[in-house]
């Protein structure tokens, strides 16, 4: 509001409107003020301009110093600071005008009172407009975020399906299964059971924004079983999480996508197995870390998976993930949520 490019036009229109309003109300005849109309309009314009610009600088400073405050508190504090600045501006400007026009002491006193009333009312009026503008913009922002979240959720469902129900995933697992199927083979039965658990979880959580960490880990265990059969002795995944974190919330399928991402971008072999560790740090953040054994990349990575997880966490929880990488390791830090948002 205060930084609008049309603010100077609005300042002039508000000043002229205020003068016409006081003229219609016969304020000048009532208080015996005989100053020329153009001096009064100029004084109103100067006060309006200075009050507006003062509020613009106050708001800029407050955004830097107290931008973390809630909207109502921030608006109330900026209004209070605006009242103080408007009071000083009105009194100083009207006093200078009275000296310039050589008004009597009585006229000067009345003029300062009227200028003070005008300045504080202008401050109130523009702060009301600013508050309305802030909440309208916030409402529009929430609508855009809701639409963005719907779009991201739709993309996530597609991404999960692509990652889990793609021809390569089915082909690889069915190849393993075909080599294990022997009559009354317990290993084959176990594989099929774990395979079913993975898809059961996908179907049950695809419409949820958050799930408990326990639920996610229950999904990860059968998923890791499938990966261990697919990459025997080439993949090691250690889940080092205290049971006390089981009730914390996480975006569904985030762990699976990070594990799949690590497998996608690294070389796996028995001589140099890919090692993935899943743990919780002292800040109650979930860490998924792997050693780096990068595959030769024909094309640069688009990081679609990481961007997907980042957007989902930001839109659903208001928090961001962290990516920590060096020459030896790659880690993603996911914020755990203590309560559903």
Query: Measuring CA to CA, how many Å separate 339 from each of 153, 160, 207?
Result: 20, 25, 18
Identify whether 229 is part of a domain: yes
Judgement on whether residues 175 and 130 belong to the same structural domain of the protein: no
Residues 33, 19 contacting (CB under 8 angstroms): no
| pLDDT value for 240 | 92
Q: What pLDDT is attached to residue 341?
A: 46
Check if the beta carbon of residue 252 is closer than 8 Å to that of residue 313. Answer: no
The reply to whether 123 and 196 lie within a common domain is: no
Q: Of the candidates 143, 177, 196, which is a domain's last residue? A: 143
Structural domains in the chain (count)? 2
Complete DSSP assignment for 257-301 = HHHHHHHHHB---SSS-EEEEEEE-TTSEEEEEEE--BPPPSS--
Q: Are residues 259 and 315 in the same domain?
A: yes
Residues belonging to the chain = 341
Final residue belonging to a domain, choices 143, 173, 199: 143
The confidence score (pLDDT) of residue 123 equals: 87
pLDDT of residue 277: 95
292 forms bridges with which residues in the sheet? Answer: none
247 and 305: one domain?
A: yes
Q: Is residue 318 part of a domain?
A: yes
The residues pairing with 280 across neighbouring beta strands, listed in sequence order, are 286
- pLDDT on residue 81: 86
Domain membership flag for residue 157: no
- Residues 91 and 212 reside in one and the same domain: no
Contact predicate 89/51, CB 8 Å: yes
Query: Going by C-beta distance under 8 Å and a sequence separation of 6 or more, which residues neighbour residue 86?
Result: 51, 54, 119, 120, 122, 123
Indicate whether 119 and 178 sit together in one domain. no
Q: How far is CA 121 from CA 45, 60, 284, in A?
A: 14, 22, 50
pLDDT attached to residue 10: 83
- Does some domain include residue 159? no
Domain that holds residue 284: 165-335
> What is d(CA 292, CA 275) in angstroms, rounded to the nearest whole number?
9
Q: What count of Cα atoms within 13 Å lies in the side-chain half-sphere of residue 165?
A: 12
The share of the chain scoring above pLDDT 70, in percent, equals 82
Q: What is the per-residue pLDDT for 324?
A: 92
- State the Cα–Cα distance between residues 242 and 122, nearest whole angstrom: 59
- pLDDT given for residue 165 in this prediction: 46
The closest alpha carbon to 74, from 84, 87, 64, belongs to 64
Q: What is the CATH number of the domain that holds 311?
A: 3.30.565
Divide the 341 residues of the chain into consecutive groups of 10 and give the mean pLDDT of each group. Answer: 77 86 82 80 89 86 78 85 89 86 79 87 86 84 79 65 52 63 66 69 66 87 85 91 91 87 90 93 92 76 73 81 91 84 46
**251: CB partners within 8 A, 6+ apart:** 209, 210, 211, 309, 312, 313, 316, 317, 334
Same domain, 173 and 322: yes
Q: 290 lies in a domain? A: yes
Give the SS3 label for residue 20: helix
pLDDT of residue 206: 58
pLDDT confidence of residue 154: 65
**With b meaning 16 or more CB within 10 Å and e meaning fewer, what string describes 202-235?**
beebeeebbbbbebbbebbebbbbbbebbbeebb
Regarding whether 318 and 221 lie in a shared domain, the answer is: yes
* Statement to judge: residues 184 and 331 lie in one domain: yes
Q: Per the domain annotation, does 153 fall within a domain?
A: no
* Among 108, 143, 178, residue at a domain's last position: 143
187 and 319 co-located in one domain? yes
Q: Do 244 and 310 fall within a single domain?
A: yes
pTM over 0.85: no
For residues 25 and 129, membership in a common domain is answered with yes
The candidate with the shortest Cα–Cα distance to 230, out of 200, 194, 206, 255, is 194
């Amino acid at each position: 509001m205060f930084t609008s490019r049309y603010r100077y036009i609005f300042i002039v229109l508000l000043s002229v409107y205020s003068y016409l309003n006081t003229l219609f109300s016969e304020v000048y005849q009532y208080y015996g003020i005989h100053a020329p109309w153009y001096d009064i309009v100029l004084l109103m314009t100067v006060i309006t301009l200075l009050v507006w610009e003062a509020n613009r600088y106050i708001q800029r400073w407050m955004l830097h110093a107290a931008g973390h405050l809630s909207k109502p508190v921030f608006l109330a504090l900026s209004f209070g600071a605006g009242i103080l600045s408007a009071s000083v501006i009105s009194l100083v400007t009207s006093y200078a005008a009275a000296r310039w026009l050589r008004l009597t002491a009585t006229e000067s006193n009345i003029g300062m009172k009227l200028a003070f009333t005008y300045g504080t009312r202008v401050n109130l009026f523009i702060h009301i407009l600013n508050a309305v503008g802030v909440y309208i913009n916030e409402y529009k922002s929430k609508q855009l975020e809701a639409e963005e979240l719907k779009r991201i959720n739709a993309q996530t469902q597609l991404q999960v399906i692509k990652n889990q129900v793609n021809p390569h995933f089915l082909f690889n697992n069915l190849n393993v299964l075909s080599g294990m199927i022997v009559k009354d083979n317990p290993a084959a039965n176990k594989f099929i059971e774990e395979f079913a658990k993975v898809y059961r979880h996908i179907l049950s959580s695809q419409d949820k924004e958050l799930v408990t960490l326990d639920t996610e880990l229950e999904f990860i265990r059968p998923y890791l079983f499938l990966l261990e059969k697919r990459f025997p002795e080439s993949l090691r995944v250690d889940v080092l999480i205290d049971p006390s974190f089981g009730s914390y919330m996480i975006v569904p399928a985030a762990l699976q996508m990070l594990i799949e991402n690590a497998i996608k971008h690294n070389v796996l072999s028995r001589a140099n197995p890919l090692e993935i560790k899943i743990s919780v740090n002292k800040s109650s953040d979930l860490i998924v870390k792997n050693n780096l054994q990068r595959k030769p990349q024909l094309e640069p990575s688009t990081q679609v998976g990481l961007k997907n997880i980042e957007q989902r966490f930001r839109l659903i929880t208001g928090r961001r993930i962290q990516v920590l990488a060096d020459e030896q390791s790659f880690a993603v830090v996911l914020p755990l949520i203590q309560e559903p948002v």
